[in-house]
Amino acid sequence: MNEVDPPAGPQPYQVGPTFGSIDYGPQAQHPDTNYLYPQGGLVPQRRTSKKWWFAGIAAVVVVVLVIGGVLVWQLRSSSDGASSPENAALDALAAVESRDPLAFTETIAAGELDGLSDVLTSTSDKAEETGFQDGGGVSGLLQGLSVATDDVHTEVEEIRDDLAKVTFTSGSATVAVDPDEVNVGFRDLISKDATAEEETIDISDLTGETENGDPIAPFVMTVKIDGRWYLSPLYTAGEYATVALDERRIDDPDVDTQEYGTPEEAAEGFLRAVADTVERRDVSDLSGAMSSHIGRAIATYQPLFDRLLDANELDDDVSIDIDRAEFTSETSGSSAKVVADNLDMTVTTNGDSYKVEVSGDCVDTTGPDGEREHNCGDDEGIGVLGFFFSLGREGGGVPEGISATRDGSGWHIDPVATLVTGAFDSLDGLTTDQLLFLIGVEGGGIEVYSRAEAEGTLEVGASKSVTLSSPLDTSERHAYGVAVLDMDVERGKTVRIEVNTDDYAQVDLVGASGRLDRDYDYEGDNRTYEFQPDETETVKVVVTGYDDERVTLKVR
CA 460/CA 470 separation, integer angstroms: 27
Task: Name beta bridge partners: 444.
Answer: none
Q: Are residues 508 and 441 in the same domain?
A: yes
Give me the domain span that covers residue 539.
Answer: 28-37+434-555
Q: Are residues 85 and 173 in the same domain?
A: yes
Q: Are residues 403 and 519 in the same domain?
A: no
**pLDDT 10s digits, 230-251:** 999 899 999 999 999 999 999 9
**pLDDT 10s digits, 257-305:** 999 999 999 999 999 998 888 888 889 999 999 999 999 999 999 999 9
- The last residue of one of the domains, among 406, 429, 452, is 429
Q: Are residues 141 and 228 in the same domain?
A: yes
**pLDDT 10s digits, 5-19:** 333 443 332 332 222
**pLDDT 10s digits, 304-336:** 998 888 776 555 677 888 999 898 999 988 888
More confident residue, 194 or 538: 538
The pLDDT value recorded for residue 504 is: 82
- The last residue of one of the domains, among 429, 461, 483, is 429
Checking if the pLDDT of 86 tops 50, the result is yes
Q: Are residues 357 and 458 in the same domain?
A: no
CA 527/CA 448 separation, integer angstroms: 24
3-state secondary structure of 9: coil
C-alpha triplet 186, 191, 195: angle, nearest 5°: 95
412-446 as b/e, with b when 16 or more CB fall inside 10 Å?
Answer: bbbebbbbbbbbbbbbeebebbbbbbbbbbbbbbb
The pLDDT value recorded for residue 478 is: 46
Helix (H) or strand (E) run with residue 103 in it: helix 101-105
Q: Are residues 459 and 363 in the same domain?
A: no
More confident residue, 438 or 258: 258
Checking if the pLDDT of 34 tops 60, the result is no
3-state secondary structure of 53: helix
Is 194 a domain residue?
Answer: yes
Tally of structural domains, the chain: 3
CA 450/CA 510 separation, integer angstroms: 6
CA 553/CA 121 separation, integer angstroms: 42
Under 8 Å CB-to-CB from 314, ≥6 apart: which residues? 278, 281
Q: Which of 104-108, 150-154, 377-381 is the least confident region?
A: 377-381
Checking if the pLDDT of 24 tops 90, the result is no
Is 351 a domain residue?
Answer: yes
CA 210/CA 200 separation, integer angstroms: 25
Q: Considering only CA atoms, which of 410, 455, 475 is closest in space to residue 553?
A: 455
Is 544 a domain residue?
Answer: yes
Question: What CATH number should be reported for the domain holding residue 475?
Answer: 2.60.120.380
Is 22 a domain residue?
Answer: no
CA 164/CA 156 separation, integer angstroms: 7
Contact (Cβ atoms closer than 8 angstroms) between residue 339 and residue 329: yes
- The last residue of one of the domains, among 413, 429, 445, is 429
Is 458 a domain residue?
Answer: yes
Q: Are residues 129 and 215 in the same domain?
A: yes
CA 111/CA 552 separation, integer angstroms: 54
CA 291/CA 273 separation, integer angstroms: 13
Give mean pLDDT, residues 38-43.
33
Which amino acid, 108? I
Q: Are residues 270 and 237 in the same domain?
A: no
Q: Are residues 181 and 233 in the same domain?
A: yes
Q: Considering only CA atoms, which of 422, 456, 450 is closest in space to residue 436?
A: 450
Question: What percent of the chain shows pLDDT beyond 70?
Answer: 68
Q: Are residues 115 and 193 in the same domain?
A: yes
Give mean pLDDT, residues 205-226.
90
Q: Are residues 419 and 438 in the same domain?
A: no
Instruction: Give the distance, in angstroms, between the CA of residue 78 and the centroid of all CA atoms in the same chain.
Output: 31
Is 2 a domain residue?
Answer: no
CA 198/CA 268 separation, integer angstroms: 52
Is 42 a domain residue?
Answer: no
Specify which of 1-5, 77-81, 133-137 reaches the highest per-range mean pLDDT: 133-137
Average pLDDT, the chain: 74
Is 13 a domain residue?
Answer: no
3-state secondary structure of 510: strand
> What is the gyration radius of the CA atoms in the chain, in angstroms?
26
Q: Are residues 32 and 118 in the same domain?
A: no
**Confidence band of 507 (pLDDT split at 50, 70, 90):** very high
The pLDDT value recorded for residue 245 is: 92
